[in-house]
Structure 1
């Protein structure tokens, strides 16, 4: 009986003009989303690779120079495009992609693509992630809002239940019919993105990201299931197509647009960020005057001089067997680095509090929970961005140590030396790290799934009452 009901519901759904046009429009948007994601990921990856190569080649071919002056020539460390940016580019366009490696200056990730975009970019970038987070829920609600409500309006549901059809069979048949249509859309999205990943990375390059992508698809499937169950439950409870559509569309509008923006504004009020002026003033004071018993910069400089003289068993700086200037440079690179590390750690802790506040609001919006889950799995989140910045800063200091060690014994550096300065290469953390960061949104999605299931059970009991 369930098979007959399933076949009947699928036939009714697919021969409805509204659903037909809805699927046609959805297919067009899905195709465009996949194309946009592929074009974005491919073009951006190539551009960043070329930029990384060019700037490094310029650095290692700068010719004979004083080592310290040559180090100031610097080169850029570029954050490579995330391995799953084809699926979801997340915060990539908002966080920047380049980090300048230069002595004495803690780098800041710059060149945000969104700064060169038009105002339309504020509506988002249509790719697979955007499709899944915003368009797919609306499609599910448009598909399910009248699956039971139309039966109540036409008065046919009592007629159907008066036959040999049981309420359980009717409910299961309608739910499965909607689930199959939604499942076909999700499968098309998942397989389409997988195919483009294969084209982009090749069979050998697909292996390292396959498990991560599989976890993303599992989360996407769970997200689609909870929305489908929720839509069917509302249709059964509302008993009016118009009312069900208003409730579901309102839930979509509030969850997709209102809750994230309101939560973001509140998080900035509850956990205000330090301004650039305050940040610069604080770090300047700590560098000059120190914290606690660190002492002023002049005091630390005097202690360094004493330690250096004692180390080489001489009484004057002029008698040192090495150049003293690079020793001073390296010392203050380390002490100033500690100041900047403290300052940036405080900024990141505040960002984490803001993000946690926003994520808490996901109890009101499963769309927000899935968005956060997607960001973590595709490594396009703020955690990955901070990890890149930390590794780039560590590389900047590594370059400084290499140059200063050479500078202690040589006053001129040729291309042979510049070629010994290591190139920067960044790889995003693996699946374990990503899943660890995605635990909270995943738990919220599971809670929403259980809540949707509970709502469906309650609606079913009202049907059988």
Structure 2
């Protein structure tokens, strides 16, 4: 196999491709779609982050503006946590439009994340949003298949292959040269999206870690390059094995429909059927029921907390809670918060495990489906996948728990020990300067290592497909026929 011959077949393919006007039309349309998707993505990123940051600042101002107050009343006054969009979310929206972006944080309650874009939009959102990731995952493969379906089969039909082989050309050289030629042509469509994303990372208003964003960018587009290379090989294989150009085109369209529509939808339906999730009302009722069984910190006659009081009095060797060196009401609230948080975490982890099993049904299809593999990789590195959403929930819950316990500690330390319970009145209060001491919530993107772990199956799948394609071309070069 000679490299010069491979380069010759690659140049010949590109020369023929640019002889037709169709390539210019498709490239122009694709660039216009890329421009629209880029402008929409950048505008959505900037607008959403501006709104969320503004509301986060207002929530903080509202928190700090509270006067001297009982700490437990401040714990119930609460605050908000807003999820910031990650820089590369302008490229791939992922599931962000369907998940919430704000949660109210208060003592004793773990509220759900609300205010998703889908909740404020029409039903057309279910058909997807035009993003640059969507263009690469759905539109460009169709263009690629259209450009590559007749590459080999048309030369067999017009007798060119027979002449090439009779002049000493090798099947490996022909197949590899045409595959690489198709890949180079595909890069013309791919390049504008890469350049736009690079321009945004250089000059866009991105407040996140720039080094992390660039690492994600490189891994992301390396994955897309492998994905497109696989599709080029797939097109050449189908074109070589098909009886006619028409059959080759129909086969490639069938592969696209099967891998893009049928497999993902079917796997989602199977996952939901195999691992059903409880309703929101059922989940909340179960948590509240378990909390009541464990003990109600707001009920002075609760058996569990009565036993707790007896043990605390025994440890400190006193007869009354007013003789304790700390406010007993704050101590009870602290223990009650710990109990309710642990119970909620137990049920929430169980619910997430169900969602994980549902998602795994779809994720494992990435082994056989490069379209699912690249989607998994894309959402993981842009931080718009389910794990990114769960990570925000966990950050918000950690902050909520720390805030509630900080207020309980203030009550234990500063509220008079004679104030057994309750938060009414103006006498038993804490200075408002303590509200400023507690830091504001700041959403941080999950570490790159976590994203790599989530994308690992998709990465290995693409690498396996590339290896399989090379082996397939080698096998096909021995079995292919010129007639």
Q: Is the 8 A contact 2:275 2:354 kept in 1?
A: yes
For residue 109 of structure 2, give the secondary structure of its aligned residue in structure 1.
coil
Q: Answer with 258-267 or 400-409: which moved more.
A: 400-409
The aligned residue for residue 464 of structure 2 is: 447
Asked if 1:185 is matched to 2:177, the reply is no
Alignment partner of 1:85: what SS? helix
Which moves more between the two structures, 443-452 or 125-134? 443-452
Counterpart residue number, 1:240: 244
Any idea what SS the aligned residue of 1:445 has? helix
Aligned to 2:422: none
Deviation for aligned residue 1:122? 1.2
Equivalent residues in 2 for 1:32-431, closer than 5 Å: 32-201=36-205, 206-290=210-294, 298-408=302-412, 409-410=414-415, 411-431=428-448
Q: Is the alpha carbon distance of 1:285 and 1:416 closer, same or farther for their aligned partners in structure 2, counting shifts above 3 Å?
A: same
- How many Å separate the matches in 2 of 1:204 and 1:319? 51
Are the aligned partners of 1:97 and 1:109 in contact in 2 as well (CA < 8 Å)?
yes
**Map of 1:22 onto structure 2:** 26
**Whole-angstrom distance in 1 between the partners of 2:452 and 2:209:** 21
The whole-number CA distance in structure 2 between the counterparts of 1:250 and 1:413 is 69
Give the conservation status (yes or no) of the 8 Å contact 1:230–1:456.
Answer: no
1:203–1:147 distance in 2 versus 1, CA, 3 Å: farther
1:109-144 CA distance string (max 9 Å, x none): 111111112222112122222122111211211111
> In structure 2, how many angstroms separate the alpha carbons of the residues matched to 1:428 and 1:300?
40
Cα-to-partner distance string for 1:156-182 (whole Å, 9 max, x where unaligned): 222333335443333233222111111
Output the TM-score relative to the length of structure 1.
0.93
- Structure 1 gap ranges (5+): 292-296
Distance apart, 1:256 and its partner CA: 0.9
Partner of 1:456: 473
Quote the Cα distance in structure 2 between the aligned partners of 1:168 and 1:441: 28
1:437 aligned residue (425, 429, 454): 454
Which digits, 9 at most, give the CA deviation of each residue in 1:204-230, with x for residues without a partner?
953331112111111111111111111
User: Cα deviations across residues 397-420 of structure 1 (Å, max 9, x unaligned)?
Assistant: 111111112123232234312112
Count of residues in Structure 1 that have an aligned counterpart in Structure 2: 460
Q: Distance in 2 between matches of 1:139 and 1:420?
A: 57
> Is there any run of 5+ residues in structure 2 with no aligned partner, and where?
296-300, 416-427
Distance 2:432 2:285 in 1: 38
What secondary structure sits across from 2:406 in the alignment?
Answer: helix
Secondary structure, aligned partner of 2:90 = coil
Q: Deviations over 1:54-113 (max 9, x none)?
A: 111111102233322222221111111123212212111212111211111113211111
C-alpha contact 1:399 1:422 (8 A) present in aligned 2: no
Partner Cα separation in structure 2 for residue 80 and residue 245 of structure 1: 43
**8 Å contact kept, 1:230–1:455:** no
Counterpart contact for 2:86–2:208, Cα < 8 Å: no
Q: Structure 2 vs 1, CA of residues 464 and 150 (structure 1 numbering), >3 Å: closer, same or farther?
A: closer
Name which of structure 1's ranges 272-281 and 342-351 shifts more when overlaid on structure 2: 272-281
What is the match of residue 425 of structure 2?
none
> RMSD in angstroms over aligned alpha carbons?
2.1
If the length of structure 2 is used for normalisation, what is the TM-score? 0.90
Q: CA deviation at 1:329?
A: 1.3
Asked if structure 1 preserves the Cα contact closer than 8 Å seen for 2:52 and 2:82, the reply is yes
Aligned match of 1:294: none
